[in-house]
Structure 1
Amino acid sequence: MKSLYAATCALALALPAAAAELETYLEFEKAMPPGNLAIGPDGRMFMSVHEFYGPELRVVEVMPDGSTKPYPTEDWARAPQDDADGLNGVLGLRADRDGILWMLDGQGENQTGRIVGWDTKTETLHAIHYIGAPVARPTSFLNDLAVDRDHGAIYISDTGDGQNSAIIVVDLETGRARRVLEGSQYTIPEDTPMVIDGREITLGGNPAKIGINPITVDPTNTWVYFAPMTASAMYRIPTAALLDESLSDADLEAQVERYGDKPISDGSTVDTGGNVYITAMTDNALGVTKPDGSYEVLFQSDDELPWPDGFSIGADGYVYATINELHRSPALNNGEDASKGIYKIVRFKSLADAVSGR
């Protein structure tokens, strides 16, 4: 028994060392500010180009040599002209186990938000699901999404105006969408200033206090993990509860669990061990909320990790993250682009894979 205890303690101590070195996987030129990542089951990598910098391209495929090409096609990768193919503005995107790339194409003036699914195996359009009124509000900001193929659903974080922040649940078979947990204590922001490099970040002239943003589903499609960007906690809720239309708002809120601590954060993903990775942009850091509820900084660098943004876990057991200096973008810097071109993808072995020796 003593040897088992000693081995367990040694394993626990070894966990942070599993991520002892952060690898710069790819770097991009200043014209290619990365947004979020999606890695398909075959290892292909796709990336949204962050709309806060006003890019021409919306989505690209990232090739192994670091080059990029417009994706899904030359037309689809750009803003649509009239009624032609195209994407208005993509932040969240995910590739599911069947090779469908789901792109969250946000709403704007005279445009309805939607999810565009593209089959990366046949290179054909798979589906389009529109997220219109009344499920979407006039102040909606469709931010990120999690794909649950076991239950045929997609869960969207609608940041909204901070008071009406909510999760939108989309049925992939019927296209029906529902708005849940709107304005709940688990989706609206806390009253905490977002300070980066000694400056309070503003959005639209107001202090940036932002509701639900990070959202992810565990590999077994049992739990959805989510949180407001401006919040000190990560939450989770069973997928079964989100899919149960018989639950009242109060019943649904009762199903939410506080999973653990976190700082102000942007993106998240979760591994097979229940480790929820966090892009802690106010700390210029990558961290993890562990199953015991504690939060740990894995990597921190003011110079090398300015605004870590999105995550994706590859079949190779690596956790990939984008770095994009978003606090220096015009949208968050009083209309001025002060970015230095520190645009890259970094990666590290997931803690779950490190423990398993993979």
Structure 2
Amino acid sequence: MRKEETMRRQSRGAVRRIALRVGLVVMLTIVSVLAFIKFEYGRGTLYPDVGSENPEGASKLEKLIKLDYPPGNVAVAPNGHVYFNYHPIARAGRFSAATMFEWVDGKITPFPSVEAQKDFQGSFGMTIDRQNRVWLIEPASFDFQHTRLWAFDLNTRQRVEYFEFPGNEAQFAQDLRVTADGKYVILADTGIMRFTEPKLIVYSVQDHSFRTALAGNPCTSPEDWLMQTPFGVYRMGAGLVNVAVGLDGIEISPDQKWVYLAAMTNSHLCRVPLAVVLDASKTSFEVAKKVEVLGPKPLSDGITVDKAGHVILTDVEHGSLMSFDPETKGIKTLVRSHDVIWADGVATGPDGSLYFTDSALSAYIGQLAGPPDKDRLLAHQPYFIYRHKP
């Protein structure tokens, strides 16, 4: 009996030692994985401020539209009507009957109708083409289904285009522009942090086909910058991962010669010939050869072109709009407001006024990008769409 008891004690001791060793190995593995994530995805340096204060510009800034929930993108029609949506990360559809709107002479109405709101899952990018259609993109990354592309005729308010990208295609498409002839939609797919590569995608309205025109290019990829916000450095995943966003903003020049490329956490504005992007015979490698680096820019989100042909970029770190001259390569601050938390979407109006949204993104986004609760959103009310007059 004593011998058996001794053997049992020895066996239990051996099991405990094995369990301790396994636990130690697991703990060391977890620590090593977290250290790797922090080193690989949490590195970076603070980005230098490429702008400045501009009191004269601030005097031209107007809080145009007051909102209960954070706006995302904005587009302005030739007749001056303003179209905007609630930011999909805020998931305001949980608390609001509508998420897509039209503003006319101070009055806000759901667009295209109250009934249509139930069909939207969270529109992101928005643009109005020369055929008087407003286009929306709903990236799959916000609903884990297919990325969806919509177009509505502004006169009839009827849907005139709808396409679901198959599988995981265009999963992170967040911005879009339409060629002057209305035949092609250019899409910016940001990728996810530094885990997947950003892409420039071309969609054909005529035959509903699509292809990747450019991928994995330095001009479309995030760089190792630490993004600053009023709430500190923008990190996620319990502080392990710095927010690093690739190709987020694109614009087509009015003369249809260029596609401007503005990756959010990238230090340079770039461009590539539109004709090359639309040429289906060109590989991504061949398109990449035609990409031109123009000059430094802020860490940006929205992009538009003003009446003078200057590229307008939002500066997400300093609540400002900046103007880049493609000819002189010069950049200057148009307006900077310390009231603006996150200058997001921007659009040019028919009279040359610039409209931009303050999505206040860094005020409520969670560590895992989950939807904020209502109290968190209400704590930062009101939200605004601004107008900067020429």
Please report how far the alpha carbon of residue 246 of structure 1 lies from its aligned counterpart in structure 2 after TM superposition.
1.6
Instruction: Say yes or no: does 1:121 pair with 2:150.
Output: no
Please report how far the alpha carbon of residue 272 of structure 1 lies from its aligned counterpart in structure 2 after TM superposition.
4.0
Q: 3-state DSSP class of the match of 2:226? A: coil
- 8 Å Cα contact 2:129-2:182 kept in structure 1: no
CA distance 1:104–1:164, change in 2 (3 Å): same
Q: For the residues of structure 1 that align with 2:151 and 2:243, how far apart are their CA atoms? A: 31
Instruction: Say yes or no: does 1:40 pair with 2:77.
Output: yes
- 8 Å Cα contact 1:260-1:290 kept in structure 2: no
Q: Match of 1:41, as an amino acid?
A: P
Identity across matched positions, percent:
28
Match of 2:181 among 146, 150, 171: 150
Name the residue aligned to 1:7.
Answer: none
State how 1:93-242 maps to structure 2 within 5 Å.
93-108=126-141, 109=143, 111-133=145-167, 135-136=169-170, 140-150=171-181, 152-161=183-192, 162=194, 163-197=196-230, 199-205=232-238, 206-242=241-277
- Range with bigger deviation, 197-206 or 283-292: 197-206
Please report how far the alpha carbon of residue 198 of structure 1 lies from its aligned counterpart in structure 2 after TM superposition.
5.7
Match of 1:73 among 101, 108, 113: 113
- When Rg is computed on C-alpha atoms for both structures, the one with the higher figure is 2
Q: 3-state DSSP class of the match of 2:317? A: helix
- 8 Å Cα contact 2:254-2:309 kept in structure 1: no
Name the residue aligned to 1:62.
Answer: 103
Q: CA RMSD in A?
A: 2.2
Larger relative contact order, structure 1 or 2 (CA cutoff 8 Å, min sep 6): 2
Residue-pair matches, total: 322
Deviations along 1:112-166, one digit per CA (max 9) or x if unpaired, are 1121111111121111122224643xxx312111111326111111011234111
Instruction: Say yes or no: does 1:283 pair with 2:318.
Output: yes
Please report how far the alpha carbon of residue 19 of structure 1 lies from its aligned counterpart in structure 2 after TM superposition.
4.3
Name the residue aligned to 2:387.
Answer: 347
Q: 3-state DSSP class of the match of 2:287? A: helix
Q: For the residues of structure 2 that align with 1:131 and 1:288, how far apart are their CA atoms? A: 34
Q: Normalising by structure 2, what TM-score? A: 0.77
State how 1:310-325 maps to structure 2 within 5 Å.
310-325=345-360
Name the residue aligned to 2:49.
Answer: none
Name the residue aligned to 1:4.
Answer: none
State how 1:291-306 maps to structure 2 within 5 Å.
291=326, 292-302=328-338, 304-306=339-341
CA distance 1:70–1:224, change in 2 (3 Å): same
Q: For the residues of structure 2 that align with 1:151 and 1:53, how far apart are their CA atoms? A: 31
Q: Match of 1:112, as an amino acid?
A: H
Name the residue aligned to 1:6.
Answer: none
Q: For the residues of structure 1 that align with 2:228 and 2:86, how far apart are their CA atoms? A: 24
Instruction: Say yes or no: does 1:27 pair with 2:65.
Output: yes
CA distance 1:44–1:301, change in 2 (3 Å): closer
Please report how far the alpha carbon of residue 320 of structure 1 lies from its aligned counterpart in structure 2 after TM superposition.
0.9
- 8 Å Cα contact 2:189-2:247 kept in structure 1: yes
- 8 Å Cα contact 1:94-1:146 kept in structure 2: yes
Residue ranges of structure 1 left out of the alignment (5+ in a row): 1-15, 79-85, 351-358
Please report how far the alpha carbon of residue 177 of structure 1 lies from its aligned counterpart in structure 2 after TM superposition.
0.8
Q: 3-state DSSP class of the match of 2:286? A: helix
CA distance 1:331–1:179, change in 2 (3 Å): farther
Q: For the residues of structure 1 that align with 2:168 and 2:276, how far apart are their CA atoms? A: 22
Please report how far the alpha carbon of residue 213 of structure 1 lies from its aligned counterpart in structure 2 after TM superposition.
0.3
Q: For the residues of structure 2 that align with 1:241 and 1:202, how far apart are their CA atoms? A: 37
Name the residue aligned to 1:354.
Answer: none
Deviations along 1:291-346, one digit per CA (max 9) or x if unpaired, are 222221222222x2221111111112211111121110234697663752252122
Greater helix share, structure number: 2
Q: Match of 2:65, as an amino acid?
A: E
Q: For the residues of structure 2 that align with 1:269 and 1:120, how far apart are their CA atoms? A: 20
Q: For the residues of structure 2 that align with 1:130 and 1:115, how far apart are their CA atoms? A: 6
Q: Match of 1:61, as an amino acid?
A: E
